[in-house]
Each structure stands twice: as structure tokens, then as C-alpha cells.
Structure 1
Amino acid sequence: MQKWKTNSLKWILATGLAVTAVLPNLYASPASAATVNTTQGSIVAETVKKLPKVQVIATGGTMAGQSVDATSFTNYKAGTLLIEDMVKSLPNKDKIAEVSTYQFGNSGSSAYTMQQLYELSLKVDEALKTQDGVVVTTGTDTMEEIAYFLDLTVRSPKPVVITGSMRPWTVIGTDAPANLYNAIKLAASGKTKYFGTVLMLNDEFHAARDVTKSNSYRTDTFVTPEIGALGYIDGDVISVYRAPFRALKPATSWATPFDLTKISKSDLAKVEIAYSYQDAGAGAISGYVSTGAKGIVTAGTGAGGISKAMSEERKAAIEKGVIFVTTTRTGSGSNYSSGEGIIAGGNLNAAHARVMLLLSLSFSKDFETIKGWFETYGYGQIELNK
């Protein structure tokens, strides 16, 4: 009897220690689960990894382009191939994510209206109800604007990665498959949760608010002037070196005021960009106002200056209730010019400032409210607790 108790105690202690060793693994990660088997008095922990779910939402662009032949780098038809076929051809994707696809459209990026971007944003949020991350593929021509629109409107804090390519899928040396694979990898990693939308090409990723296209053909076209990329992807290593300001906010205040479920796509305001240059005429501003523009972004010289004719026409437009945002055409740097009816664009470029003003005017007509949104969500400055 005593011998049985002793052996039983040894077995309980042994198995108890084994269970204790297994328990931490049970809660180690939401992407893993553990099962316990007993064989001849021993407990074996088997960890079964659950892959994150990533949906690729495709809108076309060069990535989906069909070239005339295998060496036609610039002669191709964008938005031809289907995303389902492109994803199927990616090797080893089953090692990084459970990937699904949705064909939202198949056109060049410049072909999409703001109303269609409204629908795209809602689709992204719908997908994120069941997915761990979303990849949006699009053309690079207006990718930075599409990315910033999603950045300001998607409500879910889960990773959203926008990608494309500078060469069509069907030419030698194409960057398309690598960009798509790495975008899926980045979204699946969860490392950009609360970052908003990030843009990923050429093994690096950037904040949607800051990034811009800098070259018409080079594969390293996307840059973030002055500040630099958020991080890099080198094989299996994803390195994050900085974070957008919204990633530092508590989860309760992460989202912007621009909840598209609160408005219809017909409520999206008409906003234009007026480019200044030597002796620029007033026609651009007067023309935009006459066709219903509620806001105008000026891309000015130097620190945001505009010609005398444009300045006089701007004053007349402000008297009619049009709101202006000042930016610089230089490609980098900040703008601090503000006044009655005029909001400083900070270091937003003209294209990004237009997206910000368009959404702001779609949700409010009050100048001070819109100015406040620019000073918080628009400027993107980090405020550390003192």
C-alpha cells in the first residue's frame, strides 16, 4: 500500500510539473494552441500554429499589368491580371498567412473617384472584422493619396498595407511578386497595428501620411522626405525603426473623426489643388470656385507663396466661404502660413493636404473645427507628456 502511494505521488508530481511547463504555452500567443497527450504516464505538449488571416483587396494597377512581351517594361496594360491568380502563383505563402482575395476593381489608380475610395475604405473595414490584416493592391501613380484616404478613414486598428509595383507582373525582373509577398508578410506580422495604413514597396514601408512618389520609373520611387521610412523587410526579418504619431495614442483615441458610416459618398466635398509659379494667373482658383469647389489647396513656391493674381483671387474666394490650405511645391519642408479662411498645411504635401481637407469639409463646414483637425490629425506631431 505504501509503495503504491509513493509511486502515485511520483507520477502526480511528474505529470504536474509537465502540465505546469505546458501552461505558459497555452497562453503564449493568440496565434497558437496546445494539446496535451498522455502516454505511459508522460505528458507531451504539441503546439499547433494558427496562421494569421490576411485578405488581399485588389484594385489593379501596374502590378496586375500584362506586358506586350517579357521585356516590355513600359509597354503594358495595367489592371489586366486577376488577384486570385496572382496570389495563387506566390510560393510559400502558406507559411506566412492564410490568404484570401477580393477583386474590388482592375484599373489604374488615377481612374478611381473619391466616391469609389469611400467604398474601398468600407470594404477594408468589413474585411478586418474577420481578418487579422488587409493588403490593398493599387497603381503607384496615386497610391499615396489612396493610402492616405484609407489611413484617415479605416476604423479598425488592425494592419492595413498598400502595395503595388513599378514593373508589370509579366516582365523579367519584375518587382510585383516580391512586393505582394512582402506586403502579405508585413500585414500578417501584426507589427503595424495602430500604425494606420502603411505603404510597402521595395522591401521598405512608410507611413501613408508622409510618403510620396519621387520617380516615374525607378523601383525605389517611394520615399518619406526628411523623416525616412518606418522600417525594412529583409527576408524573414521585419525591422521597425519608428512609428507614426497615431501609434502612440491610446486605443480609445486612435481613430480619426472621419467615420464614413456617418455620411454618404455623395457628401464628399469637392476640393482642388492650385499650383503656383512665376506670374501665375487667377484662372485656376476662379475656375475651381465656379465649378463648386468648397476647398482649395495651394501648392506654393518656397514656403508656400503664391502670385499676386492668385492671392487676390483667393481673397475673393474666401469671402464666398471657400477654405484654403497652404502647402509648398518644393517636395519637402513645412508651411506655417495661415489667416482668415487659410489653414497652414504643415509638412503635408499638396496631394495629402487635399485628401485631409476633402474629408474635413465632408464632416464639417466650421473653419475652426477643420483647423483643429489639421493641427491634430493633419500635422502628425508627437506630443510627449511633460
Structure 2
Amino acid sequence: MKRGKVKALKVLLATGLAVSFFLPHLYLSPVSAAADSTATTSAIGVVKKLPKVEVIATGGTMAGKSTDETSFDTYRAGSLPIEDLVKSLPNKDQIAEVSTYQFGNSGSSAYSMEQLYDLSLKVDEALKTQDGVVVTSGTDTMEEIAYFLDLTVQSPKPVVVTGSMRPWTVIGTDAPANLYNAIKLAASGKTKYFGTVVMLNDEFHAAREVTKTNSYRTDTFVTPEIGALGYIDEKNIRVYRAPFRALKPASDWATPFNLNKISKKDIAKVEIAYSYQDAGPGAISGFVAAGAKGIVTAGTGAGGISKAMSEERAEAIKKGVIFVMTTRTGSGSNYSNGDGVIAGDNLNAAHARILLLLCLSYSKDFDTVKNWFTTIGYGQIELPSK
């Protein structure tokens, strides 16, 4: 090989761009992320531009104010403005030009689907001028908020959802570190085309798969069986795997769930029915009576439900209600399809509800909804045949 070609290959390897042979647009983003930003001067005097990152705040524990410095569990969530939290972060001007927007200041479970509709549109609006967005959220329903954004935000730029398990004002809080690292991750561009990711405890996870596993511990967010996408260790941001969306061509990247095409009143009502020993039919019949257009069942084992629930489900299907089967076990897959019933694959019940809700907001046709679950929801990588 000629010397010039060898030198060019070494440059590619040093920058990580050679990996783009396998992931077409995945590792180009760190280069393009700093396109429209303020400038900073490096140690050798070279002027480089900083990426622009907007932090959109919804409240939660991160913005919580504790009774005192050791009140780890006694605090008022959603009390501190995001502008003040960002201002207090040290060295942020070394990683990004950071702006803030106070969308709300409440616990995550206080938000309605209509408000999440507005939040998603705000994220897309911000990404027209920003290189990445960080959304701060309470952790109780963070996985649902993140998956809703994952399925509806149309821009492929980085969206990072973060929060904390301890309020900002206690000793040993994880809040400032999580916020700083979320900004760093968004600014790096390394999750461009990943969809929305969740970042806490120095780890980042795909919104589709991550779930909260403990009510108090700071390492509560876990991706069962599959594991995290990567880790942040000071200046090192390591990506060890990519979600299936990162492998899709840019022209086919966005989901069909463009919120500009529907109104808030179009958002479908979808509920979750939990099965257990000798579970009665009341949950399903009650949800149907209240106007549910879809119901996700969190079943035992591989997704089974009780005899009474099964009989009531059959009656609901006759009325046009669409069901998705998931397991309550915390991990594992479900493959049970049938008349009016769609397999949830390895989506947990909360994630499956978000997807079914969006599907039914755009179509009432069973086959269309099932196809969206198969192509968007299952998230499996299709390898070319030999």
C-alpha cells in the first residue's frame, strides 16, 4: 500500500470514522455536532466550536428541595428552576454552549399524554437550532416519557433524558453529575440516530428497553438481559452497542408517529391490565366501559392471563378493542398473536402501552397496528441472508 494511503487510513482509525463502514451514520455525528456553536480556544491555540445543547426541564427529584442536607427521601420534587441548576454546574463551558427551557416543574407521573405531546414538539423545535437536547424528568415514569419521545421526535439529533434519585440539595446527591454527564453525552453527538436515550449513574440506555428496577437506589435504571448502550467515565464516552434504529438509513429513520399530523384529541386511550392468581374480569370490563381503545395485559410467565380475564378479553375484542400481550416477570419475550391480540415481544407493559397508544392514535386498523409493532416495536436487527 502506498505511503499516502497508509497515512489516510491511520487518520480514519484515529478519529473513529473507519467504524462507519459498519454503522453508516453512527460515528459521523461527533464531527458534525459542533456545526453551529460558540467558539473556545484549545491549549494549542486552535479555535474550535462548542456544540449547542438545550436543557428542557420537566422537574422531578433532580429539581427537588430537601428538608435539610441529609433528608434523602424527604423533599419536594420540582422546586428548583433549571436555569439555576445549570448555572451551578462547573466546567460546562468546556463541553457545550448550554441554554435552558422550563417546560414544567412536576413529578413525572403528574404529566398527561397531552402534555407529553407538547414536550415532544418542543424537543423537535429545539433541535432545529441545537446540536442536542437534554430532557430532565422525574424517574417514576421516566421510561415511558423517554419512549414516547423516542417514538415521536422526528429529528435524529441526540435526545438524552436524565434525572436523579436524590434531590439536588442533599449530601451525596447524584443530580449534578447526572445533569453534567447528560449534557456531555448530548454534546458529543455519539447517540445521533440512536433515538432517545436515558442517562443516569454514568450509564446510558435505549429508551425502548430501559426500566426502573428499584425505588431508592441510584443504580435503579437497567436494561434487562441486553444491557446498557455504553458508559461515561469523565472524558471517555464508550458506546458498546447500538439500538436497531441506528442501523437504518437516514431516509427511513423517523417513525410514522409525527405529532404534527394529529391533534391532542386524537391520542387514544390505552390501559394496562395486570394478571395474577384467579384474576377477575373487572379490570378489562372497566377499561372498556371507560372508553379504552387498546389494552395491554401484563401476564404471568410468558404472558398468560386468568380464565376470567381471557373470557372478558374475547368480549372486548368483539367490540373492536385491540390487545397486546406482555409478561409481568420483568424480562423475557412474548410471541402470542391471535384475533385482536398482538405479541408484545420483549417490551414491558409500560413500553407496550406507549407504542399501542401511538399506533391507535394514527390507525384503528388491526393489521396496520400489528405491522407497526413488528417493524418498530420489536426492534430486532434484520441480517441479510447469505
Compute the displacement of 1:384 (Å).
1.5
Tell me if 1:376 matches 2:375.
Answer: yes
Tell me if 1:229 matches 2:218.
Answer: no
1:261 corresponds to which letter in structure 2?
A: N
Q: Distance in 1 between matches of 2:373 and 2:86?
A: 38
2:329 corresponds to which letter in structure 1?
A: T
Q: Distance in 2 between matches of 1:351 and 1:268?
A: 16
1:28-39 counterparts in 2 under 5 A? 29-30=31-32, 31=34
Q: How high is the sequence identity, in percent, across the aligned residues?
A: 82
Task: Name the CA shift for 1:295/1:347 in 2 (closer, same or farther; >3 Å).
Answer: same
2:294 corresponds to which letter in structure 1?
A: G
Q: Distance in 1 between matches of 2:45 and 2:70?
A: 49
Residue equivalent to 2:311: 312
Q: Distance in 2 between matches of 1:29 and 1:179?
A: 24
Tell me if 1:349 matches 2:355.
Answer: no
| Alpha-carbon contact 1:281-1:310 (below 8 Å) kept | yes
Tell me if 1:67 matches 2:40.
Answer: no
Residue equivalent to 2:149: 150
| Alpha-carbon contact 2:157-2:193 (below 8 Å) kept | yes
Residue equivalent to 1:19: none
| Alpha-carbon contact 1:32-1:47 (below 8 Å) kept | no
Q: Distance in 1 between matches of 2:337 and 2:121?
A: 33
Residue equivalent to 2:104: 105
Secondary structure, aligned partner of 2:105: strand
Relative contact order, CA 8 A, sep 6+: which one is greater?
2
Secondary structure, aligned partner of 1:105: coil
| Alpha-carbon contact 2:35-2:51 (below 8 Å) kept | no
The one-character-per-residue Cα deviations of 1:237-269 (angstroms, maximum 9, x if unpaired) are 000000000000000001111000000011000
2:279 corresponds to which letter in structure 1?
A: A
Q: Distance in 2 between matches of 1:358 and 1:103?
A: 26
Q: Distance in 2 between matches of 1:259 and 1:341?
A: 25
Q: Distance in 1 between matches of 2:273 and 2:196?
A: 27
Compute the displacement of 1:47 (Å).
2.8
Secondary structure, aligned partner of 2:353: helix
Compute the displacement of 1:32 (Å).
7.6
Tell me if 1:213 matches 2:212.
Answer: yes
Residue equivalent to 1:17: none
Residue equivalent to 1:15: none
Compute the displacement of 1:235 (Å).
0.5
Q: Distance in 1 between matches of 2:382 and 2:201?
A: 31
Q: Distance in 2 between matches of 1:268 and 1:32?
A: 36
1:285 corresponds to which letter in structure 2?
A: I
Q: Distance in 1 between matches of 2:340 and 2:47?
A: 59
Residue equivalent to 1:365: 364
Compute the displacement of 1:135 (Å).
0.0
| Alpha-carbon contact 1:32-1:49 (below 8 Å) kept | no
Compute the displacement of 1:310 (Å).
0.2
Secondary structure, aligned partner of 1:273: strand
1:161-310 counterparts in 2 under 5 A? 161-310=160-309
Residue equivalent to 1:49: 48
Task: Name the CA shift for 1:183/1:312 in 2 (closer, same or farther; >3 Å).
Answer: same
1:262 corresponds to which letter in structure 2?
A: K
Unaligned runs of at least 5 residues, structure 1 = 1-27, 34-44
1:361 corresponds to which letter in structure 2?
A: L
1:103-142 counterparts in 2 under 5 A? 103-142=102-141
1:298 corresponds to which letter in structure 2?
A: T
1:152 corresponds to which letter in structure 2?
A: L
Q: Distance in 2 between matches of 1:384 and 1:342?
A: 27
| Alpha-carbon contact 2:270-2:293 (below 8 Å) kept | yes
The one-character-per-residue Cα deviations of 1:160-205 (angstroms, maximum 9, x if unpaired) are 0000000000000000000000000000000000000000000000
Compute the displacement of 1:48 (Å).
1.0
What TM-score do you get using the length of structure 1 for normalisation?
0.89
1:258 corresponds to which letter in structure 2?
A: F
Secondary structure, aligned partner of 1:60: coil
Residue equivalent to 1:330: 329
Q: Distance in 1 between matches of 2:232 and 2:31?
A: 22
Q: Distance in 1 between matches of 2:98 and 2:301?
A: 46
What TM-score do you get using the length of structure 2 for normalisation?
0.89
Structure with higher Rg: it is 1
Task: Name the CA shift for 1:287/1:29 in 2 (closer, same or farther; >3 Å).
Answer: closer
1:238 corresponds to which letter in structure 2?
A: I
Q: Distance in 2 between matches of 1:188 and 1:265?
A: 31
The one-character-per-residue Cα deviations of 1:35-71 (angstroms, maximum 9, x if unpaired) are xxxxxxxxxx963111000000000000000000000
Compute the displacement of 1:370 (Å).
0.4
Number of equivalences:
348
Compute the displacement of 1:338 (Å).
1.2
Compute the displacement of 1:29 (Å).
4.7
Q: Distance in 2 between matches of 1:249 and 1:205?
A: 20
Q: Which has the higher strand share?
A: 1
Secondary structure, aligned partner of 2:356: helix
The one-character-per-residue Cα deviations of 1:287-317 (angstroms, maximum 9, x if unpaired) are 0000000000000000000000000000000
Q: Distance in 2 between matches of 1:147 and 1:203?
A: 17
Secondary structure, aligned partner of 1:107: coil
Secondary structure, aligned partner of 1:106: coil
Runs of 4+ in 1 over 6 A off after TM superposition: none
Q: Distance in 2 between matches of 1:384 and 1:205?
A: 25
| Alpha-carbon contact 1:32-1:48 (below 8 Å) kept | no
1:207 corresponds to which letter in structure 2?
A: A
1:376 corresponds to which letter in structure 2?
A: T
Compute the displacement of 1:224 (Å).
0.2
Q: Distance in 1 between matches of 2:49 and 2:141?
A: 35
